[in-house]
Amino acid sequence: MDDPGTARIVQIALEIDILSDDATEAARQMLEEGRVAELLQWVDDAPGRTAAAALQELIVSPEAIRSVLLRDPLDQSVARALLSSLDQRASEVLLDILRDADGRTTRRLVYDRLREYGASLAPQLVRRLDGAPWYFVRNLLALLRDTASTDGETVESPVKTLFKFLNHQHEQVRVEALRLLVADNSARDAAIRHVLDD
C-alpha cells in the first residue's frame, strides 16, 4: 500500500465499527487525495454499519463533493464513482458546482447526474433562475426540459417565469426557454408568436 498508515486507520475503524476523530481525519485526507472509490468500496464491504454510515456521510458531504468535483484536473473515474453514490439530497451542492465549475467535463458529468433525478428537481431549478448568470440559466432551463422528458411528463413550470426568458439578452437562453414553452400546450402558441418577431 502506498500509504499504509492513513488507509489502515480507516480500515480498522470500519472493522471495529467505530469512526474515531483520527479515522475521520484519515478519511478526509484520503478524500483530498481523490481516493473516493476505495472509500466507497470499504463502506460497502464493512462488517458493521455504524462506522460505515458515518464514513458514507463524510464522503457525500458538500465539502467532500466540492473537493472532488472542483479539482483541477478532474479525475473522471473518481468523479463518476462519487456522483453515482449521491442521491437527490446532494442536488443543491451539485447545482452550485454546475454553476461554478470551470471545466466543461465537470459540468457535463454533474448535469447528467442531476438529470437522472427527474421531474422532482423542477422546484429547485425554478427557484434558482432569477438573478443567475446567463450560462447557468441556460443549463437550468435545459435541465427543466430534460428532467420532464425523462419522466415522460408534461412540463409544469410556471409559464410566467419562463416567458420572460424569451426576452433574455443571450440567444441560447431564449432558445432553451422556447423549447420548454412549446412543450406546454397552454403556452405553445403564444411562445411561437413571440419568437417569430425575434
Which pLDDT band holds residue 5 (cuts at 50, 70, 90)? confident
The amino acid sitting at 156 is: E
Global confidence as pTM:
0.85
Which pLDDT band holds residue 2 (cuts at 50, 70, 90)? low
Which pLDDT band holds residue 60 (cuts at 50, 70, 90)? very high
Q: What is the distance between the alpha carbons of residues 159 and 89, in angstroms, rounded to a whole number?
A: 27
Query: What are the backbone angles phi and psi of residue 53, rounded to the nearest 5°?
Result: -65, -40
- 46-71 core/surface letters (b: 16 or more CB in 10 A; e: else): beeeebbebbbebbbeeebbbbbbee
Residue 15 buriedness (CB in 10 A; 0-12 / 13-18 / 19+): middle
List Cβ neighbours of 50 (8 Å cut-off, separation of 6 or more): 17, 18, 19
Closest listed residue to residue 173, CA positions, set 144, 142, 197: 142
Q: What is the distance between the alpha carbons of residues 23 and 32, in angstroms, rounded to a whole number?
A: 14
**The three grid cell numbers given for residue 33, joined into one nine-digit string:** 487525495
Q: What is the distance between the alpha carbons of residues 160 and 184, in angstroms, rounded to a whole number?
A: 12
Give the CA angle between residues 12, 18, 23 to the nearest 5°: 60
Q: What is the distance between the alpha carbons of residues 127 and 161, in angstroms, rounded to a whole number?
A: 10
Give the CA angle between residues 133, 118, 96 to the nearest 5°: 30
Confidence (pLDDT) at 197? 85
Confidence (pLDDT) at 170? 95
Please give the distance of CA 143 from its chain centroid, rounded to a whole number: 11
At residue 188, does pLDDT exceed 70?
yes
At residue 153, does pLDDT exceed 80?
no
Confidence (pLDDT) at 56? 94
At residue 136, does pLDDT exceed 50?
yes
Helix (H) or strand (E) holding 152: none
Closest listed residue to residue 97, CA positions, set 81, 86, 108, 89: 108
At residue 132, does pLDDT exceed 60?
yes
